[in-house]
Structure 1
Amino acid sequence: MRRRDFMGLTGLAAGSLFLPSLPGFGGTPVDVGRMLEQIDVAVKKRLADAALNAAKSAGASYADARVGRYLNQYVFTREKQVQNIVNTESYGVGVRVLVNGAWGFAATNDVSEAAVAQAAREAVSIAKANARLQKEPVNLAPQRGYGEVSWKTPIEQNAFEVPVKQKVDLLLAVNAKAMENGANYVSSTIFQVNEQKYFASTDGSYIDQDVHRIWPTFNVTAIDRASGKFRTRDSLGTSMGLGYEYLTPRAQDKIAGPAGTGVVGYKLRYDMLEDAALAAKQAKAKLTAKSVVPGKYDLVLDPDHLGLTIHESVGHPLELDRVLGYEANYAGTSFATMDKLKSGNFKYGSPVVNIVADKLQPGTLGAVGYDDEGVKTGEWDLIKGGVLVNYEKIRDQAQVVGQDHSDGCCYADSWSNVQFQRMPNVSLRPNPSKLRVDDMIKDVDKGIYIVGAGSYSIDQQRYNFQFGGKLFFAIEKGKIAGQIEDVAYQSNTQEFWNSCAATCDASDYRFLGTFFDGKGQPPQISAVSHGSATTRFNGVNVINTARKIG
């Protein structure tokens, strides 16, 4: 091992210590200059054809090849110091085949035509072995080929082209702003991802996609040295399917929270400096905030909070592979079983609950032109007027619910992993009529306004749950009555969504994203966003997380 490689790998490991979790940390250390190089699409097509031709010659009835190049950059800082800067690259080819009604898969990081053809033959051998044990053959929904097409995340500024120094300067300025406003400690990070994905199949598709994502985040800590108490507040920005322009603030992207909270939300642009200053002040205020009195409250949930609840209580239980029990060993099953869909009248939520799945919304993490089976992406209803109407599906699941096409939900997090069914963007539609947050709060006699995703717990069927948050404000007789602490709410999915009383209009609509949604064995991660406007839920049980039981 060369000294340069050793230093890069040890630096990578050290940098990961400053993250709460980074399951997607992978690839080989690489310099910035190489990250800006592009691979000729003609080269990718030759590799894909080598795989497809070898698979067909070996007996595959269907085959697809994914040529993937995955780039990651992580910049870590704390107070006045740069903790680490990490660049990684992963490049290879994965080949999936169907033989005698069974799947086979193999992959290689040797990106030569001979090696890729050999991987295809290995995939066929695996499929033939699987076919001896498989009881029912795979039944793929039909999919036409699209020929040679391309899609790119509609970014304004490639984050990988922005000098590292510019990113470091921004993060150190964020840290300074937090310290100036009362933080005792602060750490900040920028993560960025570029997936260069080329998909080809025996259906006749050759799809070249360039996917970009970015996640700027920080954590501030305020300490009361007399008591030893400390409180934190994370960033209210989120991960987005955008370029570096996400970190260029615009006035039209700022959404003021309810009067008396000082909260600011962000749409497609994020003011990291402003948020850091607010975070320090709000973390300090937490130190003296009153502890919540347990009981029933009307909850007014900010989009930066509600996105996680949507993810766990709607996005996951409506994955069809989970419903069918395919994920029972690792990720669990779902309470939203097939009989509930077939009944045609299962009341998942109140009549104001309209939840849509999509892979289209600009700026979202899940936005792509085509999924990892070459299916053109779209939008479809999951819950309409409160009633369960559909699931999230891929090609070999469509026939289970009598559907003749895939929803375009197939994804693999690397060329080295087989693609399977993953969650699309799942979002709550806003109110078609005008309703602002302050107007919503006027109708609340006893309630809590909750901002930011916090800790949570949910059972293996995605039914009984508990959610916390980052910031909590008491609502008394239609007005904000100050910051409170130690709040978590408990409910079950159906009870909770049936308590949904109102949503704000589209002017308040924002996204919460996650880079690291884990699923599968061996585990893979995916990135999705959840859109919503501020939403009210009536009569929800709230507990005090600081009180001891017994």
Structure 2
Amino acid sequence: MKRRNFLELSALGFGGLMLPSIPVFGDIVSPERMLEQVDPALKKRLADVALNTAKSRGANYADVRIGRYLQQYIFTREKQVQNIVNAESFGVGVRVLADGTWGFAATSDVSDKGVAKAAEQAVAIARANAKLQKEPVQLAPVQGYGEVSWQTPIEKNAFEVPVGEKADLLLAANAAAMDNGASFVNSALFQVNEQKYFASTEGSYIDQDIHRIWPNFTVTAVDKASGKFKTREALSAPMGMGYEYMNPKASEKINGPAGTGLVGYRYAYDMLEDATLAAKQAKEKLTAKSVMAGKYDLVLDPNHLGLTIHESVGHPLELDRVLGYEANYAGTSFATLDKWKTKNFKYGSDKVNIFADKIQPGSLGYVGWDDEGVKTKKWDLIKDGTLVNYQAIRDQAHIINEDESHGCCYADSWSSVQFQRMPNVSLAPGREKKNVDQLIAGVDKGIYIAGRGSYSIDQQRYNFQFGGTTFHEIKNGKIVGPLEDVAYQSNTQEFWNSCADMCDESDYRMFGSFFDGKGQPSQISAVSHGSAHTRFNGVNVINTARKI
């Protein structure tokens, strides 16, 4: 097990997603080393050194983040373990406000001298930046919380589970897929632990221990006669949980539509069950009927709809993107402030209630406090179809007349400056009791889509195209068979205004993005999106296999 300064996942087909550069602290002798904790008293003493140094150099405000970040990734293919990666990063980031301007510096020298030097550099950088600052930074007030702590409410620490046991689970899932007709299969298990200590000149000393997990696989079926192949991705969701997520017996089972064989769990995942079905569905896709382009009613499962929420609601309602700060990296937003100020901009139909939430148990974004020491909460973004709010942090709140931050500031490392990141953004389930079969019963001509696929969206998060993992034709209220080559096209406002109905709370589940990129230099974050099965009427569907 070797230290890695840079981990790239593109070889496993994750669309070029990358982890950031990882400065490493010490050698990891064994996985047991990853269970060690840094003494809170040491962290408080180092934090006070940084805060006192910053104030003595003229900072009006300062915060310090002492972070220890652990990652363990296991990769397999068919009968082989391909790679096991343990990475550890430990250091300190200091952010200050001096002369009305931000300054930031970081160090891996976790000593009194190293931390003091970083604080001095941060103040010097702020003063240099002040020469270019047009308006002073305005910080929304936040209370000091004293010495507090928070931990992801896990039942079983994934880092305590022997590597061999986790590898055996992945290999068993591979075997289940191969036994049911797969030609190839690879699988992976991602585990992250963020041990973050935040302190500020406003009197907070916040110690947090955050856990995330994501099992994943890709199954491929090949028709040897024609050379044609089809794949089926896992229908897992990354979660803010421990290893208990891998125990399906600990969670209620939620059946998918009749005729699909799909099964879901709210707070667990059955990897063997999904791998078995994936192999069968990958083979089925080889002979599935190709879709006829046209208008269809779509019934979207929570795993699929989460990605659409992410791209067409989560990103466009980031306030920094609305203000144009993200234009160079991934575009701006059509949901500009003038639309919000009218108080009647119809983002979607009256059925659409979308909320931001940093306190949802099991979600990837679930924490007690954000990286500015703001206690996290839940708030509305779209109410009865109308745009009502954005996502804002302390130095943005005044722009939308808010008295406090929404608590959605985050940095992916001690060496990265914290900035506004997407919280969990979810579609509220319906109030009327309804299951997915009842939802489908109201569709004469439609398509049921499960899982994520390829997608694209324009630079203002407006015009888009989404694919999926599996597709099933709906006729006269029934699933009648599989389809292939399906993608739907729409624009954000048209799509959400076509939202006609959804299942109730009993069907609600979460999808997640483990490696959501933003910023320059790029940072990643993890965020969940919940929903129940939802129907959208009259959506334009294209055939992705046919040439124009």
Which range, TM-score by smaller chain?
A: over 0.9
User: Is the aligned partner of 1:539 residue 2:533?
Assistant: no
Question: RMSD of the alignment, in Å?
Answer: 1.3
Q: Does 1:382 align with 2:377?
A: no
Rounded to whole Å, the distance in 2 between the matches of 1:439 and 1:35 is 48
Cα distance in 1 for partners of 2:379, 2:294 equals: 37
Residues 356-367 of structure 1: pairs in structure 2 closer than 5 A? 356-367=355-366
Q: Name the CA distance, whole Å, in 1 between partners of 2:337 and 2:63.
A: 30
Q: Which runs of 5+ in 1 are unaligned?
A: none
- Match status 1:18 vs 2:12: yes
What CA distance in whole angstroms lies between the structure 2 residues aligned with 1:541 and 1:400?
A: 37
Q: Which residue of 2 aligns with 1:48?
A: 47
The structural deviation recorded for 1:100 is 0.9
Following TM superposition, by how much is the alpha carbon of 1:13 offset from its aligned partner in structure 2, in angstroms? Answer: 6.2
Q: Quote how far apart the aligned CAs of 1:332 are.
A: 1.1
2:96 — aligned with what?
A: 97
Residue of structure 2 in register with 1:318 after alignment: 317
| Alignment check: 8 A CA contact 1:237 1:266 kept | no
In the TM superposition, residue 327 of structure 1 has moved relative to its aligned partner by 1.0
Letter of the 1:79 partner, please give it: E
Structure 2: unaligned runs, 5 residues or longer: none
Partner of 2:242: 243
Q: Which amino acid aligns with 1:126?
A: I
Residue 292 of structure 1 deviates from its aligned partner by: 0.2
Aligned to 1:35: 34
Which residue is equivalent to 2:177?
A: 178
Residue 450 (structure 1) aligns with? 449
Corresponding residue SS for 1:453: coil
Q: Distance in 2 between matches of 1:546 and 1:200?
A: 55
Is the CA contact (8 Å cut-off) linking 1:356 and 1:379 kept in structure 2?
A: yes
Change (3 A) 1:362 1:407: same
| Sequence identity (%) | 73
Counterpart AA for 2:472: F
TM-score scaled to structure 1, two decimals?
A: 0.97
Aligned partner of 2:142 in structure 1 is: 143
Cα separation, 2, equivalents of 1:9 and 1:401: 42
Counting only pairs closer than 5 Å after superposition, residues 121-132 of structure 1 correspond to structure 2 as: 121-132=120-131
Confirm or deny: 8 A CA contact 1:491 1:541 kept in the other structure. yes
Cα-to-partner distance string for 1:390-424 (whole Å, 9 max, x where unaligned): 00000000000111100001000000000000000
- SS at 2:451 equivalent: strand
Letter in structure 1 aligned against 2:180: N
Q: Does residue 424 of structure 2 align to residue 425 of structure 1? A: yes
> How far is 1:508 from its partner?
0.6
The correspondence of residues 213-252 of structure 1 with structure 2, limited to 5 A, is 213-250=212-249, 252=251
Q: Secondary structure at the match of 2:73?
A: strand
Q: 252-261 or 435-444: which moved more?
A: 252-261
Deviations 1:524-550 (A, max 9, x none): 00000000000000000000000011x
Distance in 2, Cα, partners of 1:56 & 1:267: 48
Which digits, 9 at most, give the CA deviation of each residue in 1:275-330, with x for residues without a partner?
00000000000000000000000000000100000000000000000111111111
Task: Give the C-alpha shift of residue 266 in structure 1.
Answer: 2.2
Label 1:115 to 1:213 Cα distance change in 2 as closer, same or farther (>3 A): same
Taking a change above 3 Å as real, the CA distance of residues 40 and 232 of structure 1, as seen in their structure-2 partners, is same
Aligned residues of 1:15 and 1:83 also touching (Cα < 8 A): no
CA shift, 1:253, in A, is: 2.8
Provide the C-alpha distance between the structure 1 equivalents of 2:245 and 2:56, rounded to a whole number of angstroms: 47
Alignment deviations for residues 52-81 of structure 1 (CA, whole Å, 9 cap, x no partner): 000000000000000000000001111110
The separation in 2 between residues aligned to 1:190 and 1:104, in whole angstroms, is: 37
Partner secondary structure for residue 327 of structure 2: coil
User: TM-score, normalised on structure 2?
Assistant: 0.97
Separation (CA, whole Å) in 2 of partners of 1:22 and 1:504? 33
Q: What CA distance in whole angstroms lies between the structure 2 residues aligned with 1:98 and 1:14?
A: 35
TM alignment of 1:200-211, pairs within 5 A: 200-211=199-210
For the 8 Å contact 1:15–1:86, the answer to whether it is kept is no
Match of 1:510 in 2: 509
Output the CA distance in 2 between the equivalents of 1:317 and 1:159.
34
Structure 1 distance, partners of 2:127, 2:174, is: 57
CA distance in 1, matches of 2:331, 2:190: 29
Aligned residue for 1:104, secondary structure, equals strand
| Distance in 2, Cα, partners of 1:27 & 1:257 | 43
Which residue is equivalent to 1:348? Answer: 347
2:468 aligns to what SS in structure 1?
strand
CA distance in 1, matches of 2:3, 2:114: 28
Letter in 1 for 2:490: S
CA shift for structure 1 position 18: 3.4
Partner of 1:274: 273
Q: Decide whether the 8 Å contact of 1:15 with 1:76 is kept in 2.
A: no
1:14 Cα deviation from its structure 2 partner: 8.9
Letter in 1 for 2:223: D
Q: CA deviation at 1:264?
A: 1.3
The answer as to whether partners of 2:32 and 2:160 remain within 8 angstroms in 1 is no
Task: Give yes or no for contact 1:27–1:88 (8 Å, CA) kept in 2.
Answer: no
Partner of 1:489: 488
> What is the letter of the counterpart of residue 368 of structure 2?
G
Q: Is the 8 A contact 1:473 1:484 kept in 2?
A: yes
Contact 1:350 1:501 survives alignment (8 Å): yes
Amino acid at match of 1:440: L
Is 1:410 matched with 2:381? Answer: no
Structure 1 residues 212 and 353: CA distance shift in structure 2, 3 A:
same
Tell me if 1:327 matches 2:326: yes
Q: Secondary structure at the match of 1:438?
A: helix
Q: Cα distance 1:387–1:303, how it changes in 2: closer, same or farther (>3 A)?
A: same
Aligned residues: 543
Q: Counterpart amino acid of 1:208?
A: D
